[in-house]
Structure 1
Amino acid sequence: MKKRKHISLFDAVVWLILIISAASCLFPILNTVAISFSDKTSALTGKVGLIPKNFTLAAYEALVQETQFFRSFLNSVVRVILGTAINMFLSVMMAYPLSKDKTAFPSRNIYMWIVVFTMLFSGGLIPTFLLINQLKLMDTIWALVLPGAVPVFSVIILMNFFKGIPKGLEEAAAMDGASPWYIMWRIFVPLAKPAIATIALFAIVNHWNAFFDGKIYINSPEKLPLQTYIQSLTADTSRRYANMTYDQILRQQQLSTLTFNSAKIVVSMIPILAIYPFLQKYFVSGIVMGAVKE
């Protein structure tokens, strides 16, 4: 017979804390999903918990006709693709030389202090706004992706992962005539797949969830990213009814701003929920092996 594994009090407390933490994150999501599938009355009276009340697809039927939502959705997709590509390229380009010792890169410590300094201090909101405006980037996608083009935390994770790669591989490649560019892209980058997948996940989530910069730098409604659009939703019923036909008004009366906006939030979560399982297997190893060692 197999001996039962005894769980210590410490482990039990840790598991309890983790379960409570997971539930505190999961319950609001389930509640939002339930509200999006509930009717107007149940949602407004607070009767919806984790299970929809008076199940209806009215919110999603209305969402299909919401052109601004899908326009903003596409803007966020473009932002994620462009922003993640820029983040990844610049992170690799910065992390690789910083992973070298002082004999190979004499000025390494100077640049490293500059990098760390930017983690602690920034120019501030107003100077950043003035800079973006002066560079003629206002109301463009570049105002959303260029200010955070070099994520310092990702650079440090990738830099320390590069440090863990045996130097013998680089020396052998150099003896065979490989250039530094070839060594970086054909040896170090493929071996750093866990760390790269981890920082890619960080970049994707950051760009997809960002809303504040869209409120500051984007003036045209058709250029708003999705999260900025969702955050700025207001219950302007009179203006909405003014442009509706009679059939649309009847359908709208089955909705509330709460159910309609909940449906938008649920749809906006789908891309991240779809991407995360493919990168999750690299997440733990990427974080642990790229832990700060400075």
Structure 2
Amino acid sequence: MIQNRSIKARMRTLLIYFIVISLALLCLLPLWNIVAISFSSSAAVSANRVGLIPVQFTTAAYQKIMDDVQFWRSFGISVIRVIIALGLNILLIVLMAYPLSKTKREFRGRNIYIGLLIFAMLFNGGMIPTYLVVKKLGLLNSIWSLILPGAVPIFSVILVMNFFIGIPKSLEEAAIIDGAKPLQVLFRVYIPCAVPSIATVALFSIVGSWNDFYSGLIYITKIKNYPLMTYIQSLSVSIEELLRAGKSATALSNVMEVSNQNLNAAKIVVAVIPLLMIYPILQRYLITGIVMGSVKE
């Protein structure tokens, strides 16, 4: 009887693994198809002959992106944006979440501030008022126009606040007895205990800043100041423009190898690579940070 139960348990385990692997493949296959399209010729892509293996292998789409000075300039702008936005987000999130994690007796008006934050998260000012504010402050065509409008992500504040609430009060009381000031309690007690939650919001900040192209379209009017996602979103293949520019026959033959489908696929691949490098580092904190930061005692 025990042996039969063991066999059933193994069968259930195998079935679960089969379902999970099948779902993973369903998610992976479309992405692999995009990679194959990015390395295929424009004729094969237009004829819909590309599956999971590149047809008439070529790197013309990547060469068009990589051999562009503006691409690397935009790449640098995006890296700087991610670094500044990450530091500013984490600083403001922690400094706001810490006092909001106190009780109403310790911080009068706490519920009012939380209510205002939730209201602002659900009912923001909208695109036009935000644009007018950014313009009035003289931030257009600067990197700060890409950072400051999203400097305080309210959802992340609530996530870290709830994580702080779950930290035992005895740790704070012990630190206060030892003579620690509020900021010392924050940086020496709360932040070390909240590493999973902070790593989670850091991942949100990195992904959000890196993938955002719409802010660049709104606030940046000069192509030289475009972040990477905005710049590669604006790339396209135009034979007519090359003819008007008087390009050589060699340049025309090279660009004929690339279609907008190839180029769009290459954009996706290039955009995903940095995130694939960062995500494995922070993903082990992701589930812990979300679960523990979402539940309030």
TM-score, normalising length from structure 2?
Answer: 0.90
- Of 217, 241, 247, 2:250 maps to 247
The question of 1:99 aligning with 2:98 is answered no
CA separation in 1, counterparts of 2:200 and 2:155? 11
Residue 225 (structure 2) aligns with: 223
The question of 1:290 aligning with 2:293 is answered yes
Q: In 2, are the aligned partners of 1:156 and 1:292 still within 8 Å (CA)?
A: no
Task: Write out aligned runs for 1:158-237 (5 A).
Answer: 158-237=160-239
Residue 261 (structure 1) aligns with: 264
The question of 1:280 aligning with 2:283 is answered yes
Runs of 4+ in 1 over 4 A off after TM superposition: 11-16, 18-24
Residue type of the partner of 1:253? M
Q: In 1, are the aligned partners of 2:166 and 2:296 still within 8 Å (CA)?
A: no
- SS at 1:290's partner residue? helix
Residue type of the partner of 1:153? F
Deviation at 1:254, TM superposition (A): 2.2
CA separation in 2, counterparts of 1:13 and 1:83? 40
Deviation at 1:235, TM superposition (A): 3.2
The aligned length equals 292
Residue 132 (structure 2) aligns with: 130
CA separation in 2, counterparts of 1:279 and 1:243? 49
CA separation in 2, counterparts of 1:121 and 1:132? 19
Residue 73 (structure 1) aligns with: 75
- SS at 1:96's partner residue? helix
Q: In 1, are the aligned partners of 2:242 and 2:252 still within 8 Å (CA)?
A: no
For residues 171-220 of structure 1, give each alpha carbon's deviation from its aligned partner in whole angstroms, at most 9, with x where no partner exists.
11111111101110111111111001100000111111111111110001
The answer to which of 87-96 and 99-108 deviates more is: 99-108
Residue 147 (structure 2) aligns with: 145
- Are the structure 2 counterparts of residues 55 and 19 from structure 1 closer, same or farther at C-alpha, using a change threshold of 3 Å? same
Cα root mean square deviation, aligned: 2.4
CA separation in 1, counterparts of 2:109 and 2:240? 63
Gaps of 5+ in 1: none
Deviation at 1:15, TM superposition (A): 7.9
Deviation at 1:256, TM superposition (A): 2.1
For residues 255-293 of structure 1, give each alpha carbon's deviation from its aligned partner in whole angstroms, at most 9, with x where no partner exists.
223223322321111000100000011111111110143
- Are the structure 2 counterparts of residues 188 and 240 from structure 1 closer, same or farther at C-alpha, using a change threshold of 3 Å? farther
The answer to which of 230-239 and 171-180 deviates more is: 230-239
For residues 50-100 of structure 1, give each alpha carbon's deviation from its aligned partner in whole angstroms, at most 9, with x where no partner exists.
221122223223332122222222211111111111111100000001001
- Are the structure 2 counterparts of residues 266 and 207 from structure 1 closer, same or farther at C-alpha, using a change threshold of 3 Å? same
- Are the structure 2 counterparts of residues 21 and 121 from structure 1 closer, same or farther at C-alpha, using a change threshold of 3 Å? farther
Deviation at 1:12, TM superposition (A): 6.6
Deviation at 1:14, TM superposition (A): 11
CA separation in 1, counterparts of 2:289 and 2:246? 51
Gaps of 5+ in 2: none
- Of 78, 82, 85, 1:83 maps to 85
CA separation in 2, counterparts of 1:217 and 1:231? 15
TM-score, normalising length from structure 1?
Answer: 0.91
- Are the structure 2 counterparts of residues 19 and 243 from structure 1 closer, same or farther at C-alpha, using a change threshold of 3 Å? farther
- Are the structure 2 counterparts of residues 123 and 62 from structure 1 closer, same or farther at C-alpha, using a change threshold of 3 Å? closer
Deviation at 1:226, TM superposition (A): 1.5
CA separation in 2, counterparts of 1:224 and 1:12? 48
Q: In 1, are the aligned partners of 2:40 and 2:54 still within 8 Å (CA)?
A: yes
